[in-house]
């Protein structure tokens, strides 16, 4: 009788163990994707799926990871111990860029900082592929943009340096796009709320560039969605348009940055789409 009970108990334990193993096999590893138990959205960067496709960062249900998807949120959750902000919008590759119809993604993450770099490429490459650091992919013309964040004052934080903007020393008072600022032959500077902004360019295009940036800034609600304690925007139209944006979190502990090589309006739209993931 006792033997019968013992074998019955062993059989039940084997069935329970088998069920537990089956459940684990169907779940993604905690280090590669954020699960529902974390009460966080799972965000993936979809890349290299087709030429001229947009860089999409959007919620995905927890499940198997496709070969062409990067569980970026999961990777950041596993390593970064600061609030992570990422854009939910990124423009598609311009159709005119037919020599580099794909985009490559590189990212790095540590305890106190993270960074994501986006490059246009001639062929599909895996995320963090060594080829992204080799010619011609590492050419400056192929760098599409980057973003990241870091704890202010943390040793080894790899966040790009804060953007530097300044009022022109010999600038004259000027109103552009409804903003009172200061203008010299190559730059227009203004302040609004927590933000300091500057547009730099040639005398011929400066006013058009300044109106473009001020208009986009207004359309984005002056980036109030970022709840920045302070922020800076530097837009430059030398050989082509570059926009550099940095801001400090409301509690003053973290700095976030965005660099975008393209239209000023797209850069502001990207910045306005940043949301918190943890």
pLDDT digits (tens, 9 = 90+) for 113-148: 999 998 888 888 887 888 888 888 888 888 889 999
φ, ψ for residue 153, nearest 5 deg: 85, 0
Report the alpha-carbon distance of residue 151 to residue 80 in Å, rounded.
10
For residue 141, tell me if it sits in a domain.
Answer: yes
Last residue of a domain, one of 148, 180, 211: 148
Residue 198 and residue 233 in contact, taking contact as beta carbons nearer than 8 Å? yes
Identify whether residues 141 and 186 lie together within a single domain.
Answer: no
Please tell me the least confidently modeled range out of 62-76, 77-91, 151-165: 62-76
Identify whether residues 216 and 128 lie together within a single domain.
Answer: no
Identify whether residues 66 and 100 lie together within a single domain.
Answer: yes
pLDDT tens column, 235-244: 998 778 999 9
For residue 144, tell me if it sits in a domain.
Answer: yes
Please tell me the least confidently modeled range out of 101-105, 129-133, 181-185, 267-271: 101-105
Is the per-residue pLDDT at 271 higher than 70?
yes
Is the per-residue pLDDT at 167 higher than 50?
yes
Domain region containing 251: 160-278
pTM (2 decimals)?
A: 0.74
Q: What is the mean pLDDT of the chain?
A: 74
What band does 9 get if pLDDT is binned at 50, 70 and 90? very low
| Confidence (pLDDT) at 210 | 94
| Confidence (pLDDT) at 259 | 95
Identify whether residues 130 and 182 lie together within a single domain.
Answer: no
Identify whether residues 144 and 167 lie together within a single domain.
Answer: no
For residue 79, tell me if it sits in a domain.
Answer: yes
Pairing of strands 230-237, 195-201: parallel
For residue 155, tell me if it sits in a domain.
Answer: no
Identify whether residues 103 and 174 lie together within a single domain.
Answer: no
Last residue of a domain, one of 99, 126, 148: 148
Q: How far is CA 39 from CA 26, 31, 36, in A?
A: 19, 15, 5
Is the per-residue pLDDT at 198 higher than 90?
yes
| Confidence (pLDDT) at 205 | 87
Total tally of structural domains belonging to the chain: 2
**Which of residues 135 and 231 earns the better pLDDT score?**
231
pLDDT tens column, 21-75: 333 332 222 222 222 223 222 333 333 323 323 344 333 333 332 333 345 666 7
Angle at 24 between CA 23 and CA 25, to 5 degrees: 95
Identify whether residues 119 and 180 lie together within a single domain.
Answer: no
Give the DSSP per-residue string, 235-276.
EEESSSEEEEEEEE-TTSSEEEEEEEES-HHHHHHHHHTEEE
Is the per-residue pLDDT at 191 higher than 90?
yes
| Confidence (pLDDT) at 215 | 96
Identify whether residues 126 and 68 lie together within a single domain.
Answer: yes
Identify whether residues 165 and 272 lie together within a single domain.
Answer: yes
Identify whether residues 138 and 171 lie together within a single domain.
Answer: no
pLDDT mean over 2-29: 33
For residue 5, tell me if it sits in a domain.
Answer: no
Last residue of a domain, one of 85, 115, 148: 148
Percent of the chain having pLDDT more than 70? 70
For residue 255, tell me if it sits in a domain.
Answer: yes
Identify whether residues 126 and 199 lie together within a single domain.
Answer: no
């Amino acid at each position: 009788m006792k033997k019968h009970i013992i074998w019955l108990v062993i059989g039940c334990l084997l069935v329970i163990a088998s069920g537990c193993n089956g459940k684990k096999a169907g779940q993604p590893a905690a280090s590669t994707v954020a699960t529902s138990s974390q009460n966080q959205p799972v965000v993936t960067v979809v890349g290299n799926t087709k030429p001229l496709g947009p860089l999409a960062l959007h919620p995905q249900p927890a499940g198997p990871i496709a070969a062409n998807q990067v569980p970026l949120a999961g990777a950041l959750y596993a390593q970064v111990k600061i609030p992570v902000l990422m854009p939910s919008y990124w423009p598609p590759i311009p159709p005119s860029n037919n020599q580099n119809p794909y985009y490559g993604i590189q990212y790095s993450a540590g305890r106190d900082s993270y960074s994501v770099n986006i490059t246009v490429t001639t062929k599909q490459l895996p995320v963090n592929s060594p080829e992204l650091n080799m010619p011609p992919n590492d050419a400056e013309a192929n760098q599409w943009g980057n973003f990241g964040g870091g704890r202010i004052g943390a040793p080894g934080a790899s966040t790009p340096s804060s953007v530097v903007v300044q009022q022109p020393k010999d600038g004259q008072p000027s109103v552009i796009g409804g903003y009172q600022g200061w203008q010299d032959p190559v730059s227009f500077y203004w302040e609004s709320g927590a933000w300091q902004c500057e547009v730099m360019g040639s005398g011929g295009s400066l006013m058009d560039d300044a109106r473009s940036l001020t208009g986009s800034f207004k359309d984005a609600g002056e980036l109030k969605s970022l709840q920045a304690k302070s922020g800076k925007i530097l837009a430059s139209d030398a050989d082509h348009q570059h926009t550099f944006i940095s801001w400090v979190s409301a509690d003053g502990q973290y700095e976030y940055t965005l660099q975008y090589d393209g239209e000023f309006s797209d850069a502001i739209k990207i910045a306005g789409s940043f949301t918190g993931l943890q």
